[in-house]
A and B are shown apart, each in its own frame.
Chain A
């Protein structure tokens, strides 16, 4: 080695450790940001890349649509009573459950939970699965009326258009994106009004 020659500075042991830790942290943050962006952008585009669960949320009482619809053959409108009459589909009061469950299902925990709530006069705080923004006014009645009267489709079949095959779901989850594009394309197909104040007011 010639004296005065260029000597690259060698990092000390302590500096190496620091740089290593910094690198790992930076890499971790980068991965997290990429994952987060992928999730958000894909969800916004309506095709969420799901990193967590693909089934619906945990409900306070594990109500199985499968048992009630498939095995007992109940119609959507039996419990969601306002769906053919009003804007909201409505979730039934616990009293409606009790018409059967005061006698049926004595040995099941979930039904005991429901009964105790009913006796205390409290309602079940279901986790809402399908929600459109506040500035969207969706009216169930008009949609069901159109398809049942004009197209001759059964009510429970109409529900499936937006809600998917709920009778196959142990936990209800959202299958359609319910973005405005979905609404508008269907409205155009059926020559329904696409004026903004049809839904936004």
Chain B
């Protein structure tokens, strides 16, 4: 795992491809042992969804278009959640991941208050599953108990396993390998999500990011980061043509 120092995992989300099917959400819930969200959990704003599909309506009836934005932890390079943790339960590791350490977390929820993307979730209850689902829990992921914070980890268990297996076989992890890609990326039917290493210049995500960022503001340029003006330096790039002047009017 010597090469893990040079990694910077990131994701590119092509919003123009997203159909809002929620496949990524389901894949994530089952990969990461997320308890079932009941209606009352949503009503209390306490539902746990490491990745969610935000839905927006564009235009006036009858010419309405639905727009979807999949939002997961943006793995900020300059994360607002990290410095507020009094016990260092969340920190940045050398692979560019914003890490949540469950056994350190004491549940102050400062990080969730600091996060502008609303992607951190507090366990208000012991997780529960119906009996029929208890045997499908992923043994590679901790079942988080009551009182601690959790969030998208970019499926670090898959990163760990893939790098270990590549190490064992004496090969490099291939770019776009399904073994290392998070569950949401593998589940996406329209390949709207792409996962890879931003430090590897030949990886698909790097090429897409380069293209998106260099064409930014130009006529057909796509590419932005969520709430970029906050300076969070996220590792998730969204591809979508944005009218930046419109954003400047409304602000945030």
Contact = CB atoms under 8 A, between A and B. Distances in A.
Report if A and B associate in a common complex: yes
Interface of A: 87, 133-135, 137, 139, 141-142, 145, 193, 195-198, 200-201
Interface stretch (B12-20, B37-45, B92-100, B209-217): B92-100
B103 A201 contact: no
B157 interface: yes
B27 to A, nearest CB: 17
B69 interface: no
A193 B101 contact: no
Chain B CB count within 10 A is highest, among A145, A200, A201, for A201
B164 A201 contact: no
Given A134-B143, A197-B93, A200-B142, A141 B164 contact: yes
Contact of A142 (B93, B101, B164): B164
A134 B142 contact: yes
A197 B97 CA distance: 10
A197 B9 CA distance: 14
B4 interface: yes
B141 interface: yes
Interface of B: 1, 4, 91, 93-94, 97, 99, 101-104, 140-143, 153, 156-157, 160, 164, 167-168
Contacts of B91: 196
B103 A133 contact: yes
A175 to B, nearest CB: 24
Interface SS of B by simple majority = loop
Given A141-B164, A141-B168, A201-B141, A135 B102 contact: yes
A196 B104 contact: yes
B93 A196 contact: yes
Contact of A197 (B156, B164, B167, B168): B156
A200 B103 contact: yes
A65 to B, nearest CB: 26
B32 to A, nearest CB: 10
Contacts of A137: 140, 142, 157, 160
A107 to B, nearest CB: 39
Nearest to A85: B168
A87 to B, nearest CB: 8
Give me the 7 closest cross-chain CB pairs, A-B, nearest first.
A135-B142, A196-B101, A201-B156, A135-B103, A197-B99, A195-B93, A135-B102
Contacts of B143: 134
Contacts of B93: 195-197
Contacts of B142: 134-135, 137, 200-201
Given A134-B142, A195-B93, A196-B93, A139 B157 contact: no
A21 B168 CA distance: 68
B102 A200 contact: yes
A135 B143 CA distance: 8
Nearest to A139: B164
A179 B140 CA distance: 20
Contacts of A142: 164, 167-168
